A and B are shown apart, each in its own frame.
Chain A
């Protein structure tokens, strides 16, 4: 295979020497290419940002409006010596895989992706390539998601049961992506919906992008949802005084991590819904196969497991260290997304901004 690497891991993040840009850099650089707007991927401070067009508005909220430009899915642009294009990854509004072509060699950086249906973003499109850099957050066969329709039916049933007991349903979800997906998926006919400010700030961008989201109120209208409404809040709100306004509550968390009961019980939640914006075990394998790539580089989460499995299947698989040293536990990822939820990501662009050992989870 061609000797020279199109992407290399550096202190600043993934660097494309031939193209002169970084992908999802964690330190300020001259030109950043973003896969999506979660805080662990989109950090402020760089001079310019390029991302998929539907993601410009949410990325701008994260890194500052002026510097972000967009490129439609599938459209090609020449950067330095390479051609770059964005392709939907199904993770959240505007999320993209980044395709890089250089002298007949094609590399694709997956960013984060999922294969299941999601009305708030474009569905994933596998891209043929020689080298595929894949996330592997949930790369264990215990992670096989139920169809979203089933999970939403469970969320609705939990909400109704709480209503019958005059309890406010508080559902924790990452403020960008997951929260909007839930708004689009629950049965808004059950009762009123209230969102935390961290969720609300992204709603205009979603509505502007044409997502059909139900009417919501903010926390100033807490009295109107008490005992009957559904409250969407970032996980960092768990155990905080902000929740007191809702009277007696039942709590739940919507996350792939809730697939394992221990994760829910440790957080002392009433319910957990394994609704994820990442691909499950089958999804990862399906997408990797669909790329046709012989060489697969793995990042995040359960990468060593997937590496071993892919090697057993004859792939040339290898780990790629991009700064997430969380040994597959995924807590680091959760925390990164907590940051995203808080909008606190804006402060992490310092030299030490790489997410290695973030602060502990809220109780």
Chain B
């Protein structure tokens, strides 16, 4: 645990990539394989499920430190990180001793799920008695399912590649799919030969696009680029191997069970192929709103009526494996040609090839992009002809050219402390629109302001508080912000009856008095016009 804690703190403290990789290399060179296996598991984003709720942990810590619950609560608001708060509050360990990471996970963490509350508390308190304050921080992060580290997966792969002497793309691939976090599993990941058994459901690392930073003309000739719609669904890989099919989402979650009709359709694909594409709710010739697709998420079983209400389509746009062979190094056009031939024989209501937009000039393409909202897509994807399928978010070959967001001018009415780096600063705001003489909350937003602006708003909040509700402050409705968002939908859960998609602060409208902010009626009109456009496009 000491070594892993050191790694955690080093990664947390370093702001340079080269330092992060050096810390990782140092760790994996020294750590026993059984520990390294768990470390790698956690670093690659598969954190353990929450074993103890944060609230409970805070209560136990209050008791252990002999502090009133209200005082502990205030500490939490100040720190903005529950695991850290508890680590700062606890008294020094009674019987400190070094524990190995694998030991902590296997004997202190995993067994918690099978224990009742008093037994769990006893085990946690026993562990507190042995770990020092720093190791406790990491332990609490693991306990509460909040373990996160500011280190990109490709850096972990790069470090392991250095330790193992294996290309990092190979490591990245081995890290996806299922592997057992023990010494043997770890040694397989870093093995120089491919002797380890391949997991039939293992996906490839997704290639990700950056937003187009400037005008498309800056990319060079239009002819160098393939253009497609940017679909608004769930990015996924459909994997057909060893007589079975699996679906992995971009979050690297196995989502096979949530989309049974796509798994059925995949049975018609030949063995040894992997498609990259988008899961969409689809009706007729157009996607349905993302909100419909959302109804299908997070379910263990999908009832038949929901399958009928929200029909699905897998819109494929790339081919990563064919006849059991990795295709990623082949040029985009060659991969697409094979993919097109393959999909020509499939059920078009379930599996489809994402069409390309073949107008010849950037201007014509820009005109097509303007229709994106009516077509229910997010904009355009631009992919360089001839490019390989790269790992991760690599700049240069893939760009997303999204439609310009919609905007509304809203008044800030509540503020709340942020978390992590923004702990102790009022950075999370609630915005409202006018409904007659009243302001009705419409969205929360956290992002979009500069550091200086955040500091300024923070001071405003402190000086203009009307009332405090725990960590939330109601402020005088004085500041107006332009919110950008990607869509608006009906939401019975919200007081306003509407919910915005991806709201963020586009700019601070210092020029606008609050009385001139937008109205709820205006937003309702926008929703109606979007629905009308969607309906027309859908029936056209």
Contact = CB atoms under 8 A, between A and B. Distances in A.
B425 A266 contact: yes
Interface string A39-54: 0000000000000000
Contacts of B421: 262, 265-266
Interface in A321-363: 325-329, 331, 356-357, 360-361, 363
Given A360-B452, A360-B456, A270 B14 contact: yes
Nearest to B462: A327
Contacts of A259: 88
A140 B14 contact: no
B71 A305 contact: yes
Contacts of B68: 309, 312
A141 interface: yes
- Binding site of A, secondary structure by majority: helix, strand, loop or mixed? loop
Interface string B324-346: 00000000000000000000000
Interface residues of A, number: 29
B474 to A, nearest CB: 15
B75 A262 contact: no
A11 interface: no
B78 A325 contact: no
Contacts of A309: 68, 71
Interface in B341-383: none
A361 B75 CA distance: 23
Given A309-B71, A360-B451, A142 B81 contact: no
B75 A141 contact: yes
B455 interface: yes
Interface string A107-144: 00000000000000000000000000000000011101
A361 B71 CA distance: 28
B456 A142 contact: no
B423 A262 contact: yes
Contacts of A326: 462
A289 interface: no
B79 to A, nearest CB: 5
B424 A142 contact: no
A263 interface: yes
Nearest to A360: B455
Contacts of B14: 270
Contacts of B88: 141-142, 144, 259-260
B303 to A, nearest CB: 44
A290 B462 CA distance: 34
Interface string A199-236: 00000000000000000000000000000000000000
8 contacts: A141-B67, A260-B78, A262-B81, A262-B422, A265-B12, A271-B13, A328-B78, A356-B463
Given A260-B78, A265-B421, 4 more contacts: A142-B78, A260-B80, A331-B458, A363-B451
Question: Nearest 10 pairs between A and B by C-beta?
Answer: A262-B423, A360-B455, A142-B88, A265-B421, A266-B421, A142-B75, A357-B459, A327-B462, A260-B79, A360-B452
